[in-house]
């Protein structure tokens, strides 16, 4: 069992590392490309990162348009991280399954720990209550997960850029 878990962690880690590998561009970033620029230097304006469109690359400087009125020259140093926008990834089925599974488990757990109804004409046992709450919350969670998965998220590819005249 330990080997299986270790193997799964290695596969996930390798997949993650490959997905985040840097792309080396044969040509400068094309004008109009959407990029995200971050600099780890604490005094930098780009410490928290900006999203912008490429205007031009001039040597070790990247000129970007932050909005229609503002153009900024970003010095490319070793602390600069540039990522190229690759589109949106939508995963509605994954969102549905994650939402439904999580909420169903929570509903079932809550139903299982609730006390039994007093004896009478109509009583619901713990197992039945767990199934009812698990199913109801699973449906709600599935719908929420479906919406969240359909909204998607941005996919960014790190780019190796020339630094210090390289």
Domains of the chain: 2-87+154-160 (2.30.30.520), 92-151 (no CATH)
Instruction: Tell which residue, 13, 15, 3, 20, has the closest CA to residue 157.
Output: 20
Cβ neighbours for 55, distance < 8 A, ≥ 6 positions apart: 31, 63, 64, 65, 71
Determine if the pTM surpasses 0.85: no
For residue 152, the model assigns a pLDDT of 86
E-assigned strand segments in 5-130:
23-24, 34-39, 50-58, 61-65, 71-75, 80-89
CA distance 161 to 86: 17
Using pLDDT thresholds of 50, 70 and 90, give the confidence band for residue 112. Answer: very high
Cβ neighbours for 122, distance < 8 A, ≥ 6 positions apart: none
Whether the per-residue pLDDT at 9 is higher than 70: the answer is no
Whether the per-residue pLDDT at 72 is higher than 50: the answer is yes
């Amino acid at each position: 069992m330990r080997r299986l878990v270790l193997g799964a962690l290695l596969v996930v880690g390798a997949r993650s590392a490959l997905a985040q590998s840097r792309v080396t561009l044969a040509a400068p970033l094309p004008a109009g490309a959407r990029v995200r620029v971050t600099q780890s230097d604490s005094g930098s304006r780009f410490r928290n990162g900006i999203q912008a469109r490429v205007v031009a690359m001039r040597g070790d400087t990247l000129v970007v348009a932050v909005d229609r009125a503002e153009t900024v020259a970003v010095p490319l140093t070793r602390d600069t991280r540039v990522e190229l926008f690759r589109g949106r990834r939508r995963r509605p089925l994954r969102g549905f399954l994650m939402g439904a599974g999580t909420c169903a488990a929570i509903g079932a757990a809550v139903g299982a720990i609730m006390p039994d109804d007093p004896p009478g004409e109509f009583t619901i046992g713990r197992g039945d209550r767990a199934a009812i709450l698990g199913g109801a919350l699973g449906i709600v969670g599935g719908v929420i997960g479906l919406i969240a998965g359909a909204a998607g998220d941005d996919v960014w590819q790190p780019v190796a850029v020339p630094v210090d005249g390289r």
